[in-house]
A = this chain, B = another copy of it.
């Protein structure tokens, strides 16, 4: 009775795994992409103070003016190679996923072609499908050491002047793959020729273990009027997953279209949530590097553990919060993930949740304050694989 396009959307395979573990109350769950740390107190206090002041009314579709200014300043501090990014390019959104939905509504409708680099978290490819667009999947390629790489020639041949949007999520959820500067330049040059929009999901740019404060961003290369939408979220860098707040960086001429679409999707995020975000940005310089150090400790602890397990192949990612690995002889990621949760109380995301290209792989979120919890998970995996 619903539309076929909706019926065909995959239900969450992570949820399917979680259901397999129902009834166990001892599951160590690493399947979601979120830290187990609560949002910083100062951020929570700012939201509570806003509530106490009575900021409970509608606000501007594009977000509070002071928050757009603060985001512009934050963005410029990270990406000023092509001059400052001003607030006339910033729209605040009710989550990163809502920003991606609005970007897709702006750019692609029925019959339009969208090229997506995959595997990728499922929302990114579901959105154009909901809108009736045709999604062309271009797979990343796993190397023997477990790292995934871009087949640049294949992307370039897939993106033609019929392509409305190129969807790229880098640092990539789930694989940890990150675009190099040269790859970004090649994609940007090519999309300028074909007239294709780049929608860049860069929500993990600060969850970055390489040089500098952030992963390579298209904002470092693109001119303001390039056909580029960069999507961000407060979720990962500020421990604000549950707050549902994100933003988009747009060409200045697209702000009116974004404002209209935001009105018709969610109208505006709560003001008190935006006050929390202002507090987060105010403390970003001190907070984010510390968080990244904690995440790096989690990454290294988990990968050290995985490296000791025979038959497990995982490359240490430069960005993101996931270990992405395969196990010799295990080709059915959903079956393996169900067995792990049901028989061993270990909750991981099956690779097939991110598309058929992820089959045979598993995703493990290492954003845990408690390194012993990661150790206990590795022990459960070791027990499972021994049998």
Contact = CB atoms under 8 A, between A and B. Distances in A.
Interface of A: 1-3, 5-7, 9, 11-12, 32, 34, 38-39, 44, 47-48, 51-52, 54-59, 94-95, 97-98, 101, 105-112, 123, 126-127, 130-132, 197, 227, 239-244, 253-254, 256-257, 260-261, 263-273
A-B residue pairs, 9 tightest by C-beta: A110-B110, A38-B54, A39-B56, A48-B48, A44-B51, A56-B242, A57-B242, A110-B132, A126-B264
Given A3-B108, A6-B106, A253-B1, A48 B52 contact: yes
A250 B158 CA distance: 40
A244 B269 contact: yes
Contacts of A2: 106-107, 254, 257
Given A2-B107, A38-B56, A244 B266 contact: yes
Contact of A264 (B44, B101, B112, B257): B101
Given A2-B254, A130-B105, A265 B263 contact: no
B48 A51 contact: yes
B256 A56 contact: no
A5 to B, nearest CB: 6
Given A51-B44, A260-B11, A3 B106 contact: yes
A261 B97 CA distance: 11
B270 A242 contact: yes
Given A2-B106, A6-B105, A110-B132, A127 B264 contact: yes
